[in-house]
């Protein structure tokens, strides 16, 4: 007879407790508890660096039946601080699987919990907002409840955290362009995903993935045709250095495209503010209106912060970059989902157009970026 997994408990900072069973590594982990609504693509979620510092709850009840494979990771490791599922699969049932989800979590030291009411927790977070939490499993599950709660309440808030250095590469890497070459592209790695690199290379860019502490002189040294800011974790208000670097990029007249965290940083470079959402957008089913085409796209999101900007009509950049407009709007809550500068070659979106493992409605944005860079080259 198979023995039951070790006990585990999830503790939220407001004192809410849920008792379940250990899933993944045993021990203690702390982070911001958030929920992700995707019914598939959990491997891409787990390996997305944007989730660093967060304990991710899957709203889909049954997780793990397709296992984990060596082809689909979005980065070099699992980045979530912890993992919450209701019913982990007992077996792996996919021909592409190389290991089980449980084994992958253990290998990367990710503490998780299973067998708890994830619907109840999701509803609680939707009402009260994302909050700090801790998973305590194995011997740690038996710690005094007051001690567990104190550990959670003493953990750092996500607001004000700069996590870019934790997820960025230390040494620059290059991915060679496919097809008709446009030129060298400087990608600031704030938590970039492999699918993003692949999509940029497929559009004709030699993709230089650069450490997050790169300088404008180091960017100029590769003679780039454009600059790209990736997705990533943390509070954009805690990334003043990346904002100043981006202003130097814009001042140099280099075309710019940013996604997710890169959208927030473009907003700040243009002179706009950012703010923390109550519980964020995380999933692969978020409807967004592209104001340019009038089309509604179903998009992949992972963000807890957003840009504060007027939704209707162009407005002046407070930092002197000319006219700007909100290009995309989230239809669930009217959050800014994209920015476009009208007088300089720069735009960004808040979601993930590479969208591994889907949907692919927004993949055209890579084509839009390539076209903008070609036009900028032809105009010189």
Active site residues: 260, 352, 354
Of the candidates 38, 272, 352, 9, the residue with the CA atom closest to the CA atom of residue 149 = 9
CB contact at 8 A, 32 and 131: yes
> 3-class SS at 236?
helix
Sign (positive/negative) of CA torsion 128, 131, 135, 140?
negative
Residue 267 neighbours by CB under 8 Å, 6+ apart: 236, 273, 274, 307, 308, 309, 336, 339, 348
- Between CA 348 and CA 337 the distance in angstroms is 8
Q: Between the CA atoms of 222, 216, 228 and 260, what dihedral angle is there, to the nearest 10 degrees? A: 160
Closest to 288 (Cα-Cα) out of 350, 357, 231, 221? 350
Three-state secondary structure along 72-113? CCCCCCCCECEEECCEECCCCCCCCCCECHHHHHHHCCCEEE
Contact 69, 97 (CB under 8 A): yes
Residues 66/44, Cβ–Cβ less than 8 Å: no
Residue with tokens 């991710």: 56
Q: Which two tokens stand for residue 70?
A: 């060596």
Question: Two tokens at 140?
Answer: 């740690």
Spatial separation of the C-alpha atoms in residues 138 and 271, rounded to whole Å: 48
Please answer whether residues 50 and 76 qualify as being in contact, where contact means their C-beta atoms are separated by less than 8 angstroms. Answer: no
């Amino acid at each position: 007879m198979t023995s039951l997994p070790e006990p585990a408990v999830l503790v939220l900072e407001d004192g809410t407790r849920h008792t379940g069973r250990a899933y993944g590594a045993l021990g203690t982990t702390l982070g911001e508890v958030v929920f992700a609504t995707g019914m598939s693509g959990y491997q891409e979620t787990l390996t997305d660096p944007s989730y660093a510092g967060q304990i991710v709850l899957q709203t889909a009840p049954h997780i793990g039946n397709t296992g984990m494979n060596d082809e689909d990771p979005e980065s070099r490791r699992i980045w979530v601080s912890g993992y919450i599922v209701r019913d982990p699969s007992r077996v792996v049932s996919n021909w592409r699987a190389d290991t089980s989800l449980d084994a992958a979590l253990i290998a990367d030291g990710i503490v998780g919990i299973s067998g708890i009411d994830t619907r109840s927790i999701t509803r609680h977070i939707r009402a009260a907002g994302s909050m700090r939490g801790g998973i305590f499993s194995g011997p740690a599950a038996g710690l005094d409840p007051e001690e567990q709660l104190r550990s959670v309440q003493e953990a750092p808030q996500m607001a004000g955290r700069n996590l870019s250095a934790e997820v960025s590469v230390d040494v620059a890497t290059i991915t060679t362009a496919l097809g008709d070459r446009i030129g060298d592209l400087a990608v600031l790695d704030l938590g970039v995903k492999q699918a993003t690199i692949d999509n940029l290379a497929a559009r004709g860019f030699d993709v230089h993935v650069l450490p997050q502490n790169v300088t404008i002189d180091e960017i100029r040294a590769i003679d780039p045709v454009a600059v790209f800011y990736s997705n990533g974790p943390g509070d954009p208000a805690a990334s003043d250095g990346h904002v100043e670097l981006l202003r130097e990029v814009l001042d140099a007249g280099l075309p710019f495209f940013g996604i997710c965290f890169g959208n927030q940083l473009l907003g700040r470079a243009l002179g706009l503010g950012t703010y923390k959402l109550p519980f964020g957008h995380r999933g692969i089913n978020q409807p967004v209106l592209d104001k340019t085409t009038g089309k509604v796209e179903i998009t992949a999101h992972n963000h807890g912060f957003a840009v504060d900007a007027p939704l209707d009509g162009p407005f002046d950049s407070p930092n002197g970059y000319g006219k700007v407009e909100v290009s995309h709007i989230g239809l669930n809550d009217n959050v800014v989902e994209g920015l476009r500068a009208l007088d300089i070659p720069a735009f960004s979106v808040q979601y993930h157009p590479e969208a591994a493992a889907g949907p692919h409605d927004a993949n055209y944005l890579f084509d839009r970026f390539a076209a903008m860079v070609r036009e900028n080259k032809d105009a010189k």
